[in-house]
Amino acid sequence: MTDCLLEEASLVRKLSIGELETYLIDKGFTETAASKLKENEIDGWSLLKLQERHLAELGLSMGQRIKLMEYISHLTAENPETADDFPTLVYPEDNGSESTLNGCNSMMNCHSILKEQLTSSLKDTESVGHIGDGLIPKQEIDPELLENSVPSLRNGKNLAQLVKHFQLFQPQEAVNVDEELDVISILKSEPAGLRIVESYYGKPFPISVEDRQIIIRLTVQYMTKVIGHLYPSSEIKEKLAMKIVEAFPSLALNRPGLNPYSYLYNKGTTSGFIDTRLKTMRKSLPLNERKRRSCDNPQPKVRKLKHRMTTDDAAAAAAATGESPLHFDEADLEQKVMWLRENPTSVETETTIMEFMQDTFQYRKLQIDRELVNATMILQKYPRFIDFDNGRLIYADFLHRYPRAGHFGENFTQKYARKIFRLAAFYRMPIEDCRDSCLQALMLSLKLFPSVRKIKKIPLASIVEHFIVFRSENTDLDLFPKTKPPHLEQPFLLCLGSFNDPKHYYLIVDECAIPCGSECENAFQILIASFFTFGMEYPLFISQWYQFFEEAVFNIRETSCNNVASFTATLESLPQ
């Protein structure tokens, strides 16, 4: 067995129940398997003793049982430190009959016998003397240590190894997080942290992304130093997150259903900035101790492909329209689709178009999922998306899908826009003049967003073009969608005019320019809705920025990514 493997086995043996759960998840085992072990109070030492029948009794799947058994065998193979055999002991009352600790009816009785044998052997030695193959200092043997430990030992192991095991398996002293994790004291011990305390502690200022990263780095580093390894339990990580928010209330996230520190550490999803920092620190560990790819899914992670209709979405939409998503009168619906295709928008047809588009919503979503695989095919089948009231039908489909979606004007224009201007002023970011205040606030929010600010190799102007492109008023709207810059990921907005004086907005989807009116507020709502209506994916560079609007403005996402929650918390810490 290699030294690295011995070190890993030694590390696993010392893990507590909670620490083992975190460790196994980081090793790539499923959360279900890890939680099953935690529910049955399996710690690191117990893990190495498990057999296949034990895992079956826990209710683990066959695949997870096989993988766990292979991992346990991997750690215990040829390793006397983790072998399953216990030393053979003699029971006085059984007149010499032999039994092992593993088969003892009373663990306390077995342990007492073991302690007695060890203590008796030690009394026959000098202060320091040879016992078997080992050199044992007599004064290091603590009877209480023997009383409180039940190690894994092999038959015939010499007493030196036996005592070594009793010492090795002493539980680490529990971390008193209330005393040890004093965030302000931790930060004051470092120059960078001291500057942060002097700048922000007790003051109503938003904390910059860079300073928040320093807070996480210093506190996580201190936490791992206190516990002695890089796999803290979820309870300790959660306590640290709480302590950070208590010290700096401006970092608190005010979202219904979420803890104010959930983006620092979310116990339910085992994610957050604290976990991200720990994963970075673990890169310094030997390869065999780092996180491995999931045992269940060895494929590399990929981005979410498209905003397709889920079962929950369909149920909500069906409840809003009063129509079952599973049963259609296909002949009747096809007649309505044909009528929609053959009758352009006019004053006379407007009411019928709205009615038929609502009637065919579930049918249309089924077609999009099965047949209409791109936006061009959708627009050919439903051309009223193009010419009806500045994109209103695109947003109507979005509202059918999310009938409880928040109002953009109330949640962004009135709630966040002023705070975005305040945040830009705090960072001393130049604010360009713009006739459309909504466009101005959206542009600032994009430039201020944490994941966008981290991008260094791509010019900001190129990133902005994934959201909106400005062209002169005489731009050929038939030609532009066909000759748009190849680096742009659609859909995006085309604004005729300039940033200072925008005139008209268009949604660019495939080779089509859909009019969205002269107000950015309406155009941006159509843009957001188009990703869902046409089943498109967000542009990679600004995907989290779009998620901010899903979560904080439209309220259609329950889970929060770290950068979104951090940005939301920063805005909410500012006065109106």
Query: Residue 131: which H helix or E strand, with range?
Result: strand 128-131
What is the rounded CA–CA span in Å between residue 418 and residue 423?
9
Secondary structure of 233-294 as H, E, C letters? CHHHHHHHHHHHHHHCHHHCCCCCCCCCCCCCCECCCCECHHHHHHHHHHCCCCHHHCCCCC
141, 149 contact by CB (below 8 A):
no
Q: Do residues 518 and 504 touch, judged by C-beta distance below 8 A?
A: yes
Q: Which residues contact 203 (CB under 8 A, 6 or more apart)?
A: none
Q: With DSSP H G I counted as helix, E B as strand and the rest as coil, what are the percentages for the chain, rounded to 5?
A: 55, 5, 40
* Assigned token pair, 220: 């996580």
Cβ count within 10 A of residue 142: 14
Radius of gyration of the chain from its Cα atoms, rounded to whole angstroms: 32
Cα–Cα distance list, 552 to 25, 126, 208, 414, 560 (Å): 30, 72, 19, 13, 9
Start-to-end Cα distance in the chain: 63
User: What is d(CA 397, CA 409) in angstroms, rounded to the nearest whole number?
Assistant: 18
| Number of Cα atoms under 13 Å in the Cβ half of residue 191 | 0
Residue 45 and residue 24: Cα distance in Å, rounded? 14
Cα gap 150→330, rounded to integer Å: 70
Amino acid (1-letter code) at residue 95 = N
Rounded Cα–Cα distance for residues 277 and 224 (Å) = 11
Sorted by sequence, the CB contacts under 8 Å of residue 217 that are 6+ apart come out as 277
pTM of the model: 0.64
Write out the two tokens for 568.
Answer: 């939301």
In Å, how far from its chain's centre is CA 479? Answer: 42
229: which DSSP letter? S
What is each CA distance from 272 to 227, 241, 268, 573, in whole angstroms? 20, 9, 11, 20
CA atoms of 156 and 218, how far apart (whole Å): 48
Contact status, residue 532 vs residue 401, Cβ threshold 8 Å: yes
> Looking at the DSSP assignment, which residues form a beta bridge with residue 134?
131
* pLDDT recorded at residue 315: 53
Residue closest to 274 by CA, chosen among 282, 264, 284, 283: 264
pLDDT along the chain (576 residues), means of 10: 64 82 81 85 85 82 85 71 39 39 41 47 42 37 42 39 39 54 92 92 87 94 89 91 93 84 87 90 71 39 44 52 62 94 94 95 90 92 95 95 92 93 92 95 96 89 94 95 85 96 96 96 96 92 94 84 90 83
CB contact set of 444 (below 8 Å; sequence gap of 6+): 420, 421, 423, 424, 429, 431
Whether the Cβ atoms of residue 309 and residue 316 lie closer than 8 Å to each other: no
Dist. CA 162–CA 171, nearest whole Å: 17
- Give the integer Cα–Cα distance in Å for 181 and 199: 20
* pLDDT value at residue 171: 38
What is the DSSP annotation of 488-528? PPSSEEEEEE-SSSEEEEEEEETTEEEE--S-HHHHHHHHH
Token pair recorded at residue 495 = 């604004």
Cβ atoms of 160 and 133 closer than 8 Å = yes
Q: Chain-centre distance of CA 86, in angstroms?
A: 42
Give the strand pairing for 98-100 and 512-515.
Answer: unpaired
DSSP line for 139-190:
GG--HHHHHT------TT--HHHHHHHHHHTPPPPPP-HHHH--HHHHHHTS
Q: Are strands 502-509 and 492-497 parallel, antiparallel or unpaired?
A: antiparallel
Instruction: With CA atoms as reference, report the closest residue to 460 among 470, 450, 446.
Output: 446
Please work out, in degrees rounded to the nearest 5, the angle formed at the alpha carbon of residue 183 by the alpha carbons of 178 and 188.
135
Sketch out the chain's domains with CATH numbers.
Answer: 3-76 (1.10.150.50), 88-168 (no CATH), 177-289 (no CATH)
**Residue 250 · residue 573 · CB < 8 Å:** yes
| SS3 of 55-86 | HHHCCCCHHHHHHHHHHHHHHHCCCCCCCCCC
The CA distance from 181 to 27, in Å, is 27
| Amino acid sitting at position 389 | D
